[in-house]
Amino acid sequence: MPKINMPKKSPSLDMTPMVDLAFLLVTFFMLTTKFRPEEPVIVDTPSSISEIKLPERDIMMITIDKDGRIFFDIDGKQTRANLIEKMGERYEVKFTPEEVKRFSVLSSFGVPMANMKQLLNAKEKERETINKETKGIPADSLKNELADWINFGRHANPKFRIAIKGDGQANYPVVKDVIKTLQGQKVNKFNLITNLEEAPKN
């Protein structure tokens, strides 16, 4: 009788290609992920059905929290460094290179120029209290620092899009001030950041 020799196969599976692939993907996602930068205030944006995504680069972000305080944020380290120097000249505040460097890596900020030095030299804990107590960037008609921030920011890079991230509970007059400021700078096109909401069906 002919013997049937079953080929002896190891039950183990070569997992190497799978692991390779998994790590490739891990690396890809790790490198492409951009973590949300730490924000000084928590903002609960209203929702809309709009599905337009915010562009990833060249964004000037104006944040309005629920107490109506205005914060400002702009992309790009180099842009930020140039911006703070220009603002320093405009408001006659001298910044040391160390302070300029700190500003360039800061995220959103909401202090008047008079307190900017204090914010830059503050430690992390102190910065939190400053952010809690600050009145935001002045944007009323008497003293409109926001207009200067936007103006100099747009000079640095005209491609910048302006996004307004407002808390749903913010009072409208503050938003109106911001929009007026923008229109004063001949910015008539901007984005409002919202959460996604499902469109009603009818």
Shortest distance in whole angstroms from residue 43 CB to other proteins: 10
C-alpha to C-alpha distance for 111 and 119, rounded to whole angstroms:
8
Q: Which is nearer to other proteins, 39 or 85 (CB)?
A: 39
Q: Which residues pair with 163 in a beta bridge?
A: 61, 191
Amino acid letter for position 148: D
Contact between residue 198 and residue 49 where contact means Cβ atoms under 8 Å apart: yes
C-alpha to C-alpha distance for 120 and 106, rounded to whole angstroms:
9
C-alpha to C-alpha distance for 53 and 43, rounded to whole angstroms:
18
Q: Which residues pair with 73 in a beta bridge?
A: 61
Q: Give me the torsion for CA of 111, 116, 118, 120, rounded to 10°.
A: 110
Shortest distance in whole angstroms from residue 54 CB to other proteins: 5
Query: Taking CB under 8 A as the criterion, which residues in 162-191 touch other proteins?
Result: 163, 165-176, 179, 182-183, 188-191
Q: Which is nearer to other proteins, 1 or 52 (CB)?
A: 52
Amino acid letter for position 182: L
The token pair that represents 190 in the structure block = 């901007």
- Output DSSP code: residue 187: -
Site string for other proteins, 48-87 (x = CB under 8 A): xxxxxxx---------x-----------------------
Contact between residue 75 and residue 107 where contact means Cβ atoms under 8 Å apart: no
What are residue 89's phi and psi, to 5 degrees?
Answer: -65, -45
Q: Which is nearer to other proteins, 115 or 194 (CB)?
A: 194
Query: Taking CB under 8 A as the criterion, which residues in 13-52 touch other proteins?
Result: 13, 15-16, 18-19, 22-23, 25-26, 29-30, 32-36, 45-52
Shortest distance in whole angstroms from residue 55 CB to other proteins: 9
Stretch that binds other proteins, among 4-12, 82-90, 94-102, 120-128 (CB under 8 A): 4-12
Amino acid letter for position 10: S
Shortest distance in whole angstroms from residue 134 CB to other proteins: 20
Shortest distance in whole angstroms from residue 120 CB to other proteins: 27
Shortest distance in whole angstroms from residue 199 CB to other proteins: 6
Interface residues with other proteins (CB under 8 A) are 10-13, 15-16, 18-19, 22-23, 25-26, 29-30, 32-36, 45-54, 64, 163, 165-176, 179, 182-183, 188-197, 199-200
